[in-house]
Amino acid sequence: MKLATYKDSSRDGQLVVVSRDLSTAHYATGIATRLQQVLDDWNFLSPQLQDLYETLNQGKARHAFPFEPAQCMAPLPRAYQWADGSAFINHVELVRKARNAEVPESFYTDPLMYQGGSDDFMGPCDDIVAADEAWGIDFESEVAVITSDVPMGASPEQALDGIRLLMLANDVSLRNLIPDELAKGFGFVQSKPATAFSPVAVTPDEAGDAWTGGRLHLTLQSTWNGRKVGMCEAGPEMTFSFGQLIAHLCKTRNVRAGSVIGSGTVSNKDWSHGYSCIAEKRAIETIENGAPKTAFMKFGDTIRIEVKGKDGQSLFGAIEQKVVAAR
C-alpha cells in the first residue's frame, strides 16, 4: 500500500491512503490519523489500511479525492530518528579521490553513517530555505526506509524484517560548511539542514521483485533545473544493504518504530549514469580536469527526484523542490 500525510496546519498532518497509480487518496480517519500511530501498532492497524487501499484501487472508496503531492508533508513530518548511511562506496571513493585522500580499508566492511536531525522534515514540494548561497547548497537523491522496532544486536537479516515502508529522500547538504564539521569529528549539525521525503511511503511489496536483498533495484532519476542529470541504479552497487545499515545502527542500542534510515547518495561506477548530488559531479570534474566546474545550487534552482517502477509508473511520486532565500 501507499501512504501519505496531508497538510492540515498541525505538526503531524493527516494520514491518507493513496491509490497505486497516485491518482486518488482517502483519509485514513477511523483507522489512524498519524503515520507514527500506525508504526507504533503496525500489526493491528496496517491490515485495516490495506483494506482501504484495495477498496481505493478498485475505485470503490466513498470519499476518495484527487491526490495532490503539493498538499503533502513528509510521510513522517517529524520522526524519532533519522540515520543516514553512505552505503554507495563509489560516492565515497570519488569524493576522496578528488581530494587525494585514501579510502580506509574498513570503509568496505563498516558502513559510514551519521545521525541527522529529524524534528523538522520537509514535504516533497516544500521550498529549500537557506540564508546564503555561499553555503554550497546541494541535493542528495537517496532511497530511505522506515522501520518498526528492531532490538539491540539484531542481525542484518532480522533488521531487514523490521523494514515497514520505503520512500525517497532529498538529504539537502550545505557543502561549504562540511569540511569544518568533518574536521571536528562530531558529525554534521549545520551542514545538514532539513531533509525532504517523497509524497508517499510504500510497503516493500509495491516494488515487486525490484525490492530484494534489502536493496531497491530501480533507477533513481534526478532532474536539476529541468535537466536530467542522474539516472542512477539504486540496487546493484549499494555496498551495504538496508539490513546491514540498520544492524550497524542497532549494535549498541534498540532502534524504535518510526526510525528513518537513508542509503546515502546513490552512485554508480559508470559515470554515464550521471549523478545524484552536485558534489559528485564536481569530484569527477576535479579528477578529470584538476578543478570543479559545476557550481552548487542558486536561489530559484529546482530539483526533482523520482523512481519509476518496472511498470513505468512513479512508485513514490516525485520530490519537487525549489531553493529560496530565507526572509
- Interacting residue ranges for a copy of itself, rule: CB under 8 A: 11, 40, 78-81, 83, 86, 104, 106, 110, 112-120, 129-131, 135, 152-153, 174, 177, 180, 182-191, 193-194, 248-249, 251-259, 326
Whole-Å CA distances, 210 to 16, 101, 218, 307, 315: 25, 35, 6, 11, 11
Residue 76 or 216: the one with the smaller Cβ distance to a copy of itself is: 76
| Residue 29 CB, nearest approach to a copy of itself (Å) | 19
Residue 252 or 272: the one with the smaller Cβ distance to a copy of itself is: 252
| Residue 94 CB, nearest approach to a copy of itself (Å) | 17
Burial label, 175 (beta-carbon count in 10 A; 0-12, 13-18, 19+):
middle
Whole-Å CA distances, 79 to 12, 108, 126, 136: 10, 29, 17, 26
d(CA 115, CA 65): 37
d(CA 49, CA 226): 36
CA 28 to chain CA centroid, nearest Å? 23
Residue 21 or 180: the one with the smaller Cβ distance to a copy of itself is: 180
| Residue 134 CB, nearest approach to a copy of itself (Å) | 12
Residue 153 or 213: the one with the smaller Cβ distance to a copy of itself is: 153
- Helix H or strand E segment including 280: helix 278-289
DSSP letter assigned to residue 283: H
| Residue 256 CB, nearest approach to a copy of itself (Å) | 4
| Residue 181 CB, nearest approach to a copy of itself (Å) | 8
DSSP for 138-159, please give it.
Answer: E--EEEEEEE--B-TT--HHHH
Residue found by looking up cell 503531492 in the block: 69
Nearest one of 109, 104, 103 to 244, comparing CA atoms: 109
Residue 186 or 291: the one with the smaller Cβ distance to a copy of itself is: 186
Burial label, 80 (beta-carbon count in 10 A; 0-12, 13-18, 19+):
middle
Residue 177 or 266: the one with the smaller Cβ distance to a copy of itself is: 177
Residue 41 or 270: the one with the smaller Cβ distance to a copy of itself is: 41
| Residue 308 CB, nearest approach to a copy of itself (Å) | 31
| Residue 19 CB, nearest approach to a copy of itself (Å) | 30
- Helix H or strand E segment including 196: strand 196-197
